[in-house]
Amino acid sequence: MRSRAPAGTLAAWRRRLLPLLLLLLLRAEVLPCTQLTFELPDSAKQCFHEEVEQGVKFTLGYQVISGGHYDVDCFIEDPHGKTIYKETKKQYDSFFHQTEIKGIYKFCFSNEFSTFSHKIVFFDLLIGDEPPILPEMGNRVTALTQMESACVTIHEALKTVIDSQTHYRLREAQDRNRADDLNERVSYWSVGETVILFVVSISQVVLLKSFFTEKRPTSRGVSS
């Protein structure tokens, strides 16, 4: 015969678990990062500035969604103007760094090497460490309870889901742009083939007509 937990214990468990789940959902939606998708014109450069404290970690990840060969130049400068990261013609990349000085860091994307193709670039910037799920977990010495361990596991799973959704959304946008570009090229090629076919057909008709057209000789008068 199965033993049942008292109703008061289940109610207390629910009262403690529901606020934690709501807090997990809020933390999963409001992560300490900046995500932005922007258009980068040809022969142009665009920079973003962010003030970062000393000894803080930040991670920059970017990917070109559409335009040209899906590549872009990227570099990062510290407050003293020193370049701490520089890559040319990259389709995607990520960079991790721990600041040594406090100040405004500059994150730049350049399309100056391209003279006619626009680019659409996505990047996310994560600054600092993620705060603990519960405020008391930061300075806690004892082990986590079973409920807290379950909440941490759920939180990590939610972060993985969010990262996967972002990755698949970028891949879908990139593949859609590739398909649109291919469809446009095929349409232009079809129109060109149609025009060439009409020109060749008309030329053949005119040529064949000239073969079967009888030319009458010109009559000359006989002088007496």
For the chain, the DSSP string reads ------HHHHHHHHHHHHHHHHHHHHHHHS-SEEEEEEEE-TT-EEEEEEEE-TT-EEEEEEEEEESTTS-EEEEEE-TTS-EEEEEEEESEEEEEEE-SS-EEEEEEEE-TT-SS--EEEEEEEEESPPPPSSGGGTT--SPPPHHHHHHHHHHHHHHHHHHHHHHHHHHHHHHHHHHHHHHHHHHHHHHHHHHHHHHHHHHHHHHHHHHSPPPPPPP-PPP-
What's 70's domain CATH number? 2.60.120.380
With a cut of 50, say whether residue 28 has pLDDT above it.
no
pTM of the model: 0.64
Q: Residue 209's pLDDT is what?
A: 81
Same domain, yes or no: 126 and 191:
no
Residue 23 pairs with which residues in a beta bridge? none
Per-residue confidence at 216, pLDDT binned at 50, 70, 90?
low
Rounded CA gap, 65 and 53, in Å? 31
- N-terminal to C-terminal alpha carbon distance within the chain: 142
Provide the pLDDT confidence category of residue 70 given band limits of 50, 70 and 90.
Answer: confident
The answer to whether position 96 is within a domain reads yes
Shared domain for 122 and 184, answered yes or no, is: no
* Count of domains forming the chain: 2
Q: Do 37 and 126 lie in a common domain?
A: yes
What percent of the chain stands above pLDDT 70?
Answer: 74
Does the residue 158 lie in any domain?
Answer: yes
Mark whether 192 and 152 lie in a shared domain.
yes
Residue 68 pLDDT greater than 70, yes or no? yes
Question: What are residue 207's DSSP bridge partners?
Answer: none
Please indicate, yes or no, whether residues 126 and 41 belong to a single structural domain of this protein: yes
Residue 164 lies in a domain: yes
Domain range holding 153? 147-203
pLDDT at 85: 95
84 with 164, same domain?
A: no
More confident residue, 170 or 20: 170
Task: Summarize the confidence of residues 144-157 as an average pLDDT.
Answer: 77
Let me know if residue 37 belongs to a domain: yes
Task: Indicate the residue among 109, 132, 155 that finishes a domain.
Answer: 132
Local confidence band at 5 (pLDDT 50, 70, 90 cut-offs): very low
In this structure, is residue 14 part of a structural domain?
Answer: no
